[in-house]
Amino acid sequence: MNGLGAVVTEQADGSYFGTRPVLTQEQAQDPDYLQQATLPLSSETHSPVDVAIYASGPWAHLFDGTVEQSYVYHVMKHAVEAE
């Protein structure tokens, strides 16, 4: 949502304006592609927003639905240690 790939620029009056360019499949899959962002910052940050995550296979029952982002790390760590 934020970072160097911002598609908005600051206007002379202090407001921001921008539009999202139409991307081709080739542009989006380019290894050097910079993901579009909404808020221009010098680097990106991670938000504490919940994420939807689903899985199949061993320990998949722990990944079923919407969870806090920090939960993902702990479940993955648990699954690796249990192997």
Annotated binding-site positions: 46
CB contact at 8 A, 75 and 61? no
Sequence-separated (6 or more) residues with CB below 8 Å from residue 7: 18, 19, 20, 21, 36, 37, 38
Annotated binding site for Zn(2+): 46
